[in-house]
Amino acid sequence: MSPLRLFRWVAVAEAVTWTLLLCGMFLKYVTETTELGVRVFGMLHGIVFVAYAVTTVVVAIDQRWSRGTTVLGLASAVPPFLTIWFDRRAERRGLLGATWRLRAEDPQGLERPVSWLVRNPGRGLASGVATVAALTGVALLAGPPVG
């Protein structure tokens, strides 16, 4: 899977889970029928939000994004649906390649773990899932957002 395809898939998933969470919030706060949607879709959105952040960092390191672009990519997950805009913007600017740079180039510094991830896709996927699970667990221990 290319950086473009992976990033697009996760960016769209993040926007879809935003939609589901907003529907759950409508049911809870407007119709006052159930809060089940917020519980279920809130958790799902939280997991995908963390997956988007991890994916953004991995792609940013591999594709050599600037700090500003990386921060913008991460921040785009906060407002609903902005990940789709950022994905399209990054593609238009040539920031999402068709291949992983670190599969062929020698890694330096922080590129080493990302290089290992992209050179070992099965293990990389397992590591990504474990990272998302661990970060989600930390977020759950910290408690729900105040609001």
Ordered per-residue pLDDT tens for the chain, 147 residues: 999 999 999 999 999 999 999 999 999 999 999 999 999 999 999 999 999 999 999 999 999 999 999 999 999 999 999 999 999 999 999 999 999 999 999 999 999 999 999 999 999 999 999 999 999 999 889 987 675
Task: Report yes or no on 134 lying in a domain.
Answer: yes
Q: Please tell me the predicted confidence (pLDDT) of residue 18.
A: 96
Task: Report yes or no on 38 lying in a domain.
Answer: yes
Q: Please tell me the predicted confidence (pLDDT) of residue 145.
A: 66
Domain that holds residue 104: 3-142
Task: Report yes or no on 147 lying in a domain.
Answer: no
Task: Report yes or no on 97 lying in a domain.
Answer: yes
The CA distance from 58 to 19, in Å, is: 25
3-state secondary structure the chain: CCHHHHHHHHHHHHHHHHHHHHHHHHHHHHCCCCCHHHHHHHHHHHHHHHHHHHHHHHHHHHCCCCHHHHHHHHHCCCCCCHHHHHHHHHHHCCCCCCCCHHHCCCCCCCHHHHHHHHHCHHHHHHHHHHHHHHHHHHHHHHCCCCC
